Amino acid sequence: ASPLFQPFTLGDLVLPNRIVMAPLTRNRATPGTVAANALTAAYYKQRAAAGLIISEGTQVSPQGQGYLNTPGLYSPEQIAGWKTVTDTLHAAGGRIFAQIWHVGRVSHSSLLNGGVPVAPSAIPAKTKTYVADGFADVTPPRALETAEIPGVVAEYAQAAANALKAGFDGVEIHGANGYLIDQFLKDGANQRTDGYGGSPENRVRFGLEVVDAILKVFPKTRLGIRLSPVSPANDTVTSDPAQVFGLFVSELSKRGIAFIHVIEGATGGPRDNVAFDWAAIRKAFSGAYIANNGYTRDLAIDAVSAGRADLVAFGRPFIANPDLVERLRTGAPLNELDRATLYGGGEKGYTDYPTLDAA
């Protein structure tokens, strides 16, 4: 069988195959920000055959929330809610890492008690977010004071400690798609004049402080980070992707974390929007490389067989195919994705996609 279906040891965790369920925001943490409804546990349980599941983005604090009904990992209720999910998934033989998330400037005052989002600089993103009455332009942010930054770093570390309590098998730091860490990395969003802005060395500082703070409370063998060097997601770009991500990845490699999860191209879009040397990034990192973005069965089999990736993450295919692993193994056709039920709502488009044997 293709290496895609062979086991892989990630850090100290043996995965039964190299197929990862990518983090997917579904806006179904109701009420509010607690991932406790039975639907969420059922949704993840249906996908337990994945080599590894990475949870939907889970905010590290109230300030870190940018969308309606996304779960948090900063309160006892939220930890207890996620525990019902991880217990259910473990009972079904699955493995799940928590993706911990701070949206930075991609938020809306209606989610922040009338407040404004925080960001590296007071530069509004030309992007929308999902709030109570549908999609809305994000609220222009304020720049974080230098003195506030250690507090935000500590929110990530606390969320990682909470992830352990909530029964997660590991943590993925959300460092991609134009959210807070990515905003610091990219000079289109970060025009600070203190030690956190300007040179690539300064722009990687925030992300590295987050990793170092987490490593004080969390094992490096179970820690990874998602990156999107050339994605324009949420209107966040940089003039120097090769420089800043080459530096960031080599610094991450020195810390010995388990994986980088790389969005190759524009998130959910073209893989060749900007020329980028993915092989150089893979070579610069000592741990595992999870490739993501628009992979088909053939592309995934080829990437793993050719050694360009250790694992491949699938997002939208996992939404529509709870038994994606089986379908990829046998080359079976895939269910169509229903875009109308991606965000918000209930079981429709969440837990009601059929498996092969149900067809």
Ligand X SMILES: C=C(C(=O)O)c1ccccc1
Using CB under 6 A, list all residues that contact ligand X.
25, 57, 67, 177, 233, 267
CB 279 within 8 A of CB 190: no
From the list 28, 11, 121, the residue with the least C-alpha distance to 350 is: 28
Residue 263: phi and psi, rounded to 5, are: -85, 110
Q: Residue 86 CB, nearest distance to ligand X (Å)?
A: 20
Q: Residue 27 CB, nearest distance to ligand X (Å)?
A: 8
Q: Residue 301 CB, nearest distance to ligand X (Å)?
A: 26
Q: Residue 267 CB, nearest distance to ligand X (Å)?
A: 6
CB 72 within 8 A of CB 30: no
Q: Are strands 134-137 and 128-131 parallel, antiparallel or unpaired?
A: antiparallel
Is the Cβ of residue 89 or residue 100 nearer to ligand X in the bound state?
Answer: 100
Is the Cβ of residue 57 or residue 81 nearer to ligand X in the bound state?
Answer: 57
- Identity at 198, one-letter amino acid code: G
Q: Residue 259 CB, nearest distance to ligand X (Å)?
A: 17
Annotation says 44 is catalytic:
no
Is the Cβ of residue 8 or residue 43 nearer to ligand X in the bound state?
Answer: 43
Q: Residue 312 CB, nearest distance to ligand X (Å)?
A: 17
CB 55 within 8 A of CB 98: yes
Is the Cβ of residue 262 or residue 284 nearer to ligand X in the bound state?
Answer: 262
Which of 44, 67, 130, 179 is an active site residue? Answer: 179
Alpha-carbon distance 259 to 354, whole Å? 32
| 107-112 contacts, C-beta under 8 A, 24 or more apart | 107/65, 107/66, 107/138, 107/139, 107/141, 108/66, 108/136, 108/138, 108/139, 109/139, 110/136, 111/65, 111/66, 111/67, 111/68, 112/62, 112/63, 112/65, 112/139
Is the Cβ of residue 57 or residue 197 nearer to ligand X in the bound state?
Answer: 57
SS3 67: coil
73 contacts: CB under 8 Å, gap ≥ 6: 58, 59, 60, 79, 82, 98, 100, 159, 162, 163, 166
Is the Cβ of residue 111 or residue 233 nearer to ligand X in the bound state?
Answer: 233
Tally Cβ neighbours within 10 Å of residue 330: 9
CA geometry: angle 341, 62, 211, nearest 5 deg: 95
User: Catalytic residues, which ones?
Assistant: 179
